[in-house]
Every structure is written in structure tokens, then in C-alpha cells.
Amino acid sequence: MLDADFFRRWMTVTATSVEREAEHLTALDSPIGDADHGSNLLRGFTAVAATLDKEAPDTPGAVLTLAGRQLISTVGGASGPLYGTLLRRTGKALGDAGEVGEEQLAEALRAGVEAVMTLGGAAPGDKTMIDTLVPAVDALGTGFAAARTAAEQGALATTPLQARKGRASYLGERSIGHQDPGATSAALLIAALAEAAGE
Ligand code: ADP
Ligand code: MG
């Protein structure tokens, strides 16, 4: 079973990965965006880690809801409301249970990803974080390690795509040949889940 500590670990491992990869994420956001994805997420997840430390929410749902709220209030770019919605909706779906199973997490995360698709209007193949999150959630039934592999493959597979949502879509065909920054950060989020689980 996964308790609040597990979810706090998921968020702090994500914060550490974002810190390590911030420059890379911003570099990916240079040719097809406005070169702020790394700094956006660094600001957001640093705030998430600090808030979780201070408020110490004691259920899985409360951890993710608080993290999502914090992302929405600290990240100005498109990715803040989108990741914020992902975590808030996932947290809401987990309810107020003190511990949740892996299957419950997979279902809740699916609800979170669907909320992101509703908010941003992106579908798989549009060259966004959705290209990572959908295959990751599909693979989560098989385990955390499978979800991480699916996420990494999903992020890499955005390179040949033409962007149809977000800032990169303004470039039309010129968005082809670049890996999507949001799909790349989404793979960090899923890898952190596997790491938090000790895999
Ligand atoms: P901004 O584009 O406002 O500068 P960021 O650079 O932080 O915000 O985030 C860009 C990333 O957000 C993109 O690489 C993409 O993965 C994701 N994104 C943008 N728009 C959407 C959308 N409508 N749906 C899903 N993801 C999106
Ligand atoms: Mg940007």
C-alpha cells in the first residue's frame, strides 16, 4: 500500500530531478517555445517541496491536491495549470484514504490525465505532455518500471511530430524534429514515481 510518505517522496524526487534537468528542459523549450520550461517547473516544484515540508499533509490525496494547487499558483506558463490540474484531479480521485493501492493510483492518475486533456484540449499525437502521460498510465497496470519505460519512449516519440497545441504549434512544420519539453518533464515525473517506489 502507498501512504502519504510515498506521495511526499514522489514530489520531492520530482523536485530533485527537475532541479537537475532544468537547463535541459529550458534548452528543449528554446527552438520550439520561449525557453522557460525548466525555470517554470523549477520554481513550481521547489515551492511544492517547501509547502509539503511545512504543511505535512497526511493522506495521499491531500499531498497531491496541495502540490497541484501550489503549481497552479506559482507557475506562470501553460505547464503550471496543466501539471497542477493533473495532480489536483489525481489527488481528488484518491479521496481521503490514508493508504491507496497501486491499482487505485493508476485509476486516479487516469482521471488526472483526462482532466489535463479536457483543460488543454490536447490528444495523443499533438506533441505535448499527453504523449508521455497517456502511455505511462496505460502501462501503470503492469507496474511502476513499465510506466517509466513507456513514459521515456513517449517523450522520445514526440520528436518527429508536428505540434498541434501550445506555443510550439505556432511554428507549424518547423516544430518537427525537436523533442517536446513538456513530454520530457512528464517523463521525469513518472520516473520519480518509480524511484519513490524503490524501482
Ligand atoms: P509555455 O508554453 O506557456 O511557455 P511551458 O514552457 O512551461 O509553458 O510548457 C510548455 C509545455 O507545455 C509544452 O512542451 C507542452 O508539453 C505543454 N503544453 C502546452 N500546451 C498544452 C496543452 N494544450 N495540452 C497539454 N500540454 C500542453
Ligand atoms: Mg515555455
Q: Where are the alpha helices (DSSP H) in 95-157?
A: 102-120, 130-140, 144-156
CA 78 to ligand 1 centroid distance, Å? 5
Query: Is the sign of the CA dihedral 142, 147, 152, 157 positive or negative?
Result: positive
SS3 95: coil
- Please, are residues 22 and 118 in contact by the beta-carbon 8 Å criterion? no
Alpha-carbon distance of 47 to 67, in angstroms, equals 9
Pocket of ligand 1 (CB under 6 A): 29, 33-34, 36-37, 40, 77-79, 82, 120-122, 128-130, 165-167, 180-183
Cell numbers placing 88: 489536483
Which atom of ligand 1 is found nearest the CA of 183? 16
Pocket test for ligand 1, best of 165, 175, 184 (most atoms within 8 A of CB): 165
Which atom of ligand 1 is found nearest the CA of 128? 16
pLDDT in tens, the chain (199 residues): 999 999 999 999 999 999 999 999 999 999 999 999 999 999 999 999 999 999 999 999 999 999 999 999 999 899 999 999 999 999 999 999 999 999 999 999 999 999 999 999 999 999 999 999 999 999 999 999 999 999 999 999 999 999 999 999 999 999 999 999 999 999 999 999 999 999 8
Any idea where the domains of the chain sit in the sequence? 2-196
Pocket test for ligand 1, best of 83, 113, 128 (most atoms within 8 A of CB): 128
CATH code of the domain occupying 2-196: 1.25.40.340
